[in-house]
Amino acid sequence: MEKWSGKPVSFADSTIIGGFWKTEQDLCRKVTVNAVYDRFEETGRFEALKMQWKKGMPNQPHIFWESDVTKWIEGAAYFLKKERDPELEAKIDELVGRMERTQDTNGYLNAYFTVVEPKARFTRRTDHELYCAGHLIEGAIAYKEATGKDNMLRVAMKYADLIDRVFRVEHSAAFDTPGHEEIELALMKLYHYTGEERYFKLAEYFINTRGTSDRDETYSFTDQEHMQSHLPVREQVTAEGHSVRALYLYSGMADLALETKEEKLTEICRTLFENITEKRMYITGGVGSTCRGESFTFDYDFPEYTAYNETCASIALALFCRRLWLIEADGRYADTAERALYNTVLSGISLSGDSFFYENPLAVDPRRNAFNDSRPEGLKEHLPILERVKVFGCSCCPPNLVRTIGSIGDYLYSTAGNTIFAQCYMDADTTLHLNGKTITLQERTEYPCDGKISWTLKSEGNFTFAVRIPGWCDKAELLVNGEKVPAAAEKGFVYLERDWKDGDRIELELEMKVKLWEGNPEIVDTCGRVAVTRGPLVYCAEGVDNDDTPLRDVRIDWDAAFELEKAEVAGREMPVLKVQASRREASKALYSDRKGKKVSFQLKLLPYYAWANRGVTEMDVWFLEK
């Protein structure tokens, strides 16, 4: 693959037929889309678009409520793209109509700065105006693509034109770059969708100006690192500050690097990716280890009970990876996207589809939370909640999950030149275009529950099919029309170049053995401990499955034999594991100078994404190495 030559293959070109993601999409469409809508209706987010709030009334509009609304519209639109639904479409039309009726004549659109502080527009960098505008743009494009209706897009473009004039042309705002990044990647998307160069120039301006302006304020309680404004972007070599802001910025930077083919910006994006994945990412694909600023901290800092790991941050990490694989062919990007999607992202939503986690810790002890809850407010520490909830005050994650699950097909393929890259595996039918050829692929798999993937071609032509071999896989077998072919990967891909015929079949079998992992010696929280994975899935144990055994005391032998079986967890069938483990015998002594007697027992583990679906219980990902 020639650098910077990648092209995305849209979810719109694929249909998820069955398997893991069909289950997730069906649940999201039937339950989650409506559940998020109902909670936003109840909390006044939709009502705020009418711009009728007065002081003393309930549900004062918040500075970022528009982003919640437009993310929901974007996610709902992705489902409408696949199947029109008059009732759902009418709900969106009503919301878009409110935007049309209340948008300022100059293009401005934000409820808070219209009815609460109308004189404070574009005066405080910390207040999310540009972030909301970015999500408006993405929602508008999605809705136009799904329905052909362009009224929301006209609203978004009118607002984007105002922002371009105020920030890039006149410099009449009180600050120069967004406090919460997101509009950068949205503007690049708008540029590609409309062909209007001013949107590209504005995205480029925001990215290039970041870290260079003395007018860019930050919060009084933090510093410029929090908003990635401590250095110009081409000098930033470590992931700093608010994790969601950072990864939305890095995604915009990757978009810009792909468009301009700039080597330096590409190098910085790669460096930031490596800093995150090699020193600042949890084994679950979670990022942003502290609640203080929802931020990255320092290398190898991975607390477990207080791990923040915002759901939106892992979604943003996957978005960053998806852009990087268009810049260069490297299987690490899809490996990381999968690690985030199958673990932390899906941990963010209940198996019932209507409740959510904002934070995703790697260990919980209900006793600690109960004690913390009993303390006076000033003495409480911040701990992740133990059960998912229907809505948050800051409810960015639920609609973000809707749009991610609705467009999950975006992670299936990419193209470059005469090559199709199979990035992530899903049971799907896809029709894509490659150098003037129309190619249809039927992919069948139970991945990530099973390591067998097959593709049947329904087209003819000469091209290269690049099959990804995940980094966690030690052994893979590849067949074309029943004949074994070498499966030696080059940066994570095996390249199959030939004159393909209609009906040709490619089969890949990934060895999905259970593996134990230890953390780097620098990680104090995992010293002497091991984590359990199978394929891209990280596993955890819950007290409810293990007779409330103290999980922190559980020991697993490095060479232990695991038993795999399918079982139901809260009504959902999934691959669970059993293994002979050990723990110390219960003792009355607080401390002892004698070695405790070990008791053997069968430890049950389930995929991390499924934890906390059966009531409050202890959970752990890392276990003592026997």
**445: exposed, middle or buried (C-beta count within 10 Å: 0-12, 13-18, 19+)?**
buried
Q: Are 363 and 619 in contact (CB under 8 A)?
A: yes
Residue 69 CA to its chain's centroid (Å): 18
Question: Smallest Cα–Cα separation from 277: which of 241, 238, 245, 249?
Answer: 238
Q: Which residue has the tokens 């999607």?
A: 341
CA 609 to CA 401: how far, in whole Å?
13
Question: Smallest Cα–Cα separation from 183: which of 99, 120, 261, 251?
Answer: 251
Q: Is 396 a catalytic residue?
A: yes
Q: Are 353 and 36 in contact (CB under 8 A)?
A: no
Beta carbons within 8 Å of 581's beta carbon, 6+ residues apart = 554, 555, 556, 557, 560, 600, 601, 602, 603, 623, 626
Q: Is 310 a catalytic residue?
A: no
3-state SS of 370-438? HHHHHCCHHHCCCCCCCCCECCCCCCCHHHHHHHHHHCHHHHCEEEECCEEEECCCCCEEEEEEECCEE
CA 76 to CA 64: how far, in whole Å?
19
Q: Are 64 and 128 in contact (CB under 8 A)?
A: yes
- Report which secondary-structure segment, H or E, holds 569: strand 562-569
Question: Smallest Cα–Cα separation from 228: which of 216, 212, 246?
Answer: 246
Q: Which residue has the tokens 């002890």?
A: 365
CA 159 to CA 168: how far, in whole Å?
14
Alpha carbon distances (Å) from 345 to 78, 193, 220, 340, 500:
18, 28, 31, 6, 37
Question: Smallest Cα–Cα separation from 115: which of 63, 192, 77, 193?
Answer: 63
Q: Are 8 and 326 in contact (CB under 8 A)?
A: yes
Catalytic residue among 396, 397, 424, 449: 396
CA 47 to CA 31: how far, in whole Å?
22
CA atoms within 13 A on the CB side of 355: 14
CB atoms within 10 A of CB 81: 18
Catalytic residue among 129, 225, 240, 294: 294
Tokens of 455: 């593709």
Beta carbons within 8 Å of 480's beta carbon, 6+ residues apart = 496, 498, 504, 505, 506, 507
Alpha carbon distances (Å) from 303 to 282, 284, 360, 365, 463:
9, 13, 12, 14, 47
Strand partners, 583: 599
Q: Which residue has the tokens 């302006």?
A: 213
**Which residues are catalytic, by number?**
294, 396
